[in-house]
């Protein structure tokens, strides 16, 4: 367990959440460049796996509506109590079909470490039963952006959003880690839906097709064990790329004029 994981339970939850939201763009640099992912004037943005709300809070400044799906009960309550008025919090796990499922947690963790998952792996020891929803059943409209961080059940989330993806063609920002689950099924599924991947290994976006994501993650896997605090400090060493921006229909993160590549019209 990391130092942060030891200290966090001793501090007020709202303080921990505020600190996590403040430092998270250093941990996940794509968040600091949100304007390149979520276009200005975004209708609905969806945050699947809200945790303490680093994405929810920033998305609320760019989108007219934000829907955050978070299965851990106390985190969902925290988000609902502290989020801006244009945020709707759904206490559930996004999945392929509605119902209930076991959400797996590490020992002595109530979900605050952000590694809970519907897919059990070696770090998990206990579970709680949570409700499951599909994104398609939430009645979302004008969806322009979906972020997914679910530690292994990405494909199920996408299958539960097939209607939304076909109708609105949103940008997708998905955490993919080959150490947790094979990433090929997600890449194949999204390719069939007309999506191409982009990654940000340094300053510039590059096509996923030209970046060996799995090999990179295997080589940089030691970075994962450092924990959040060590990974946000200056001179923190190599970056571990574990998130992919998927754009449909030939769109790019930034067009030739330095502006967002928006879809031309809603269907």
Taking only the tens place, the pLDDT of each residue in 183-214 is 999 999 999 999 999 999 988 999 999 999 99
Residue 77 falls within a domain, yes or no? Answer: yes
Residue 253 falls within a domain, yes or no? Answer: no
Residue 42, CA distances (Å) to 138, 146, 162, 232 in order: 18, 11, 20, 29
Q: What confidence score (pLDDT) does residue 215 get?
A: 93
Residue 241 falls within a domain, yes or no? Answer: yes
Provide the residue range defining the domain that includes 13.
3-91+136-248
The tally of domains found in the chain comes to 1
CATH number for position 182: 3.40.50.150
DSSP 8-state class, residue 8: G
Q: CB within 8 A of 41, min separation 6: which ones?
A: none
Comparing 175-179, 190-194, 252-256, which segment has the lowest mean pLDDT? 252-256
Q: What confidence score (pLDDT) does residue 12 get?
A: 57
Global pTM reads 0.86
């Amino acid at each position: 367990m990391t130092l942060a994981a030891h200290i966090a339970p001793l501090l007020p939850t709202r303080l921990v959440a505020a600190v996590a939201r403040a430092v998270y763009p250093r941990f996940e640099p794509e968040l600091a460049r949100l304007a390149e992912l979520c276009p200005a004037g975004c209708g609905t943005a969806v945050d699947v796996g809200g945790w303490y709300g680093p994405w929810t809070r920033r998305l609320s400044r760019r989108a007219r509506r934000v829907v955050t799906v978070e299965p851990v009960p106390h985190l969902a309550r925290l988000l609902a109590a502290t989020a801006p008025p244009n945020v709707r919090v759904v206490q559930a796990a996004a999945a392929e079909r509605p119902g209930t499922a076991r959400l797996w947690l590490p020992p002595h963790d109530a979900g605050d470490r952000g590694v809970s998952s519907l897919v059990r792996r070696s770090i998990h020891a206990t579970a709680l039963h949570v409700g499951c929803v599909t994104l398609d059943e939430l009645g979302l409209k004008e969806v322009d952006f979906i972020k997914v961080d679910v530690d292994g059940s990405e494909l199920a989330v996408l299958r539960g959003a097939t209607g939304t993806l076909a109708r609105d063609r949103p940008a997708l920002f998905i955490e993919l880690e080959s150490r947790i689950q094979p990433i090929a099924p997600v890449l194949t599924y999204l390719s069939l839906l007309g999506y191409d991947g982009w990654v940000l290994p340094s300053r510039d976006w590059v096509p996923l097709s030209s970046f060996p994501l799995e090999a990179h993650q295997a080589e940089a896997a030691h970075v994962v064990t450092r924990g959040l605090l060590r990974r946000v400090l200056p001179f923190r060493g190599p970056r571990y790329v574990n998130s992919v921006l998927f754009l449909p229909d030939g769109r790019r993160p930034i067009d030739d004029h330095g502006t967002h590549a928006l879809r031309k019209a809603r269907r």
